[in-house]
Amino acid sequence: MNNNNFEIINTPIQINEVINKVEDRNAGAINTFIGTVRELTKGKKTVYLKYDAYISMAEKKLAQIGGEIQKEYPESKVAITHRIGELAISDIAVVIAVSTPHRADAFAASRYAIERIKEIVPIWKKEHWEDGEKWMGDQLEHKPYPEGKPEKGDLN
């Protein structure tokens, strides 16, 4: 699995490019998760979002997630692209693609990837509302790990 399979970019994500990376003659199933900017969150209206990342570490952590999936599903291929910068409503923030021979594994692995991204990948979202702005990820709005940091076993 190429490291180009795990990218942080600051331009619009081309869904097909991410999917093409996981194509395989022995894949019968590709699951794709696309995270988009939603207008309403708990009744609050988002105007736009800004994502920032510790890019080099974030790409490493995305690749780590890919490695975790390949360990569990040796025949899988994984690609993840996350966009940073300013995003408008309906813009795509992240695309995950996982191919596997059989469909149940593709679903499970894709789900795992998005949950892990929210735990260990150093990317931050700043919500901009009409009446203010806020870096998300704090304990009031969103708590990524119960102990304030990932468990030791989650990190390496």
Partner 1 sequence: MSIRILLFAELEEKVGTRQIEIDGTEMTAGEVRNTLLEKYPEVSAFNSAMMAINEEYADDQDVVREGDLVAFIPPVSGG
Least distance in Å: CB of 117 to a copy of itself? 11
Q: Which of residues 126-155 bind partner 1 (CB under 8 A)?
A: 126, 135-139, 142-145, 148-150, 152, 155
The nearer residue to partner 1, 22 or 53, going by C-beta atoms, is 53
Q: Which of residues 18-57 bind a copy of itself (CB under 8 A)?
A: 19, 23-41
What is the closest distance, in whole angstroms, from the C-beta atom of residue 21 to partner 1 in the complex? 19
Among 57, 89, 124, 136, binds a copy of itself (CB under 8 A): 89
Q: Are 103 and 29 in contact (CB under 8 A)?
A: yes
What is the total count of residues that contact a copy of itself (CB under 8 A)? 32
User: By C-alpha distance, which of 96, 121, 126 is closest to 111?
Assistant: 96
Ordered DSSP codes for 2-46: -GGGEEEESS---HHHHHHTT--TT--EEEEEEEE--SEETTEEE
Residue 89's binding partner among a copy of itself, partner 1, none (Cβ under 5 to 8 angstroms by kind) is a copy of itself
Residue 88 binding: pick among a copy of itself, partner 1, none (C-beta 5-8 Å cut-off by kind):
none
**Cβ atoms of 65 and 117 closer than 8 Å:** yes
What pairing do the DSSP bridges indicate for beta strands 40-41 and 29-36?
A: unpaired
Binding region for a copy of itself (CB under 8 A) out of 56-64, 65-73, 99-107, 143-151:
99-107
Count CA atoms closer than 13 A to 48's CA, side-chain side: 7
User: CA 89, 20, 111, 90: dihedral to nearest 10 degrees?
Assistant: 10
Task: Report d(CA 65, CA 48) in Å as an integer.
Answer: 28
Q: From the list a copy of itself, partner 1, none, which binds 119 (C-beta under 5 to 8 Å, kind-based)?
A: partner 1
Residues found near a copy of itself in the complex (CB under 8 A): 15-16, 19, 23-41, 89-90, 99, 101, 103, 106-107, 110-111, 114
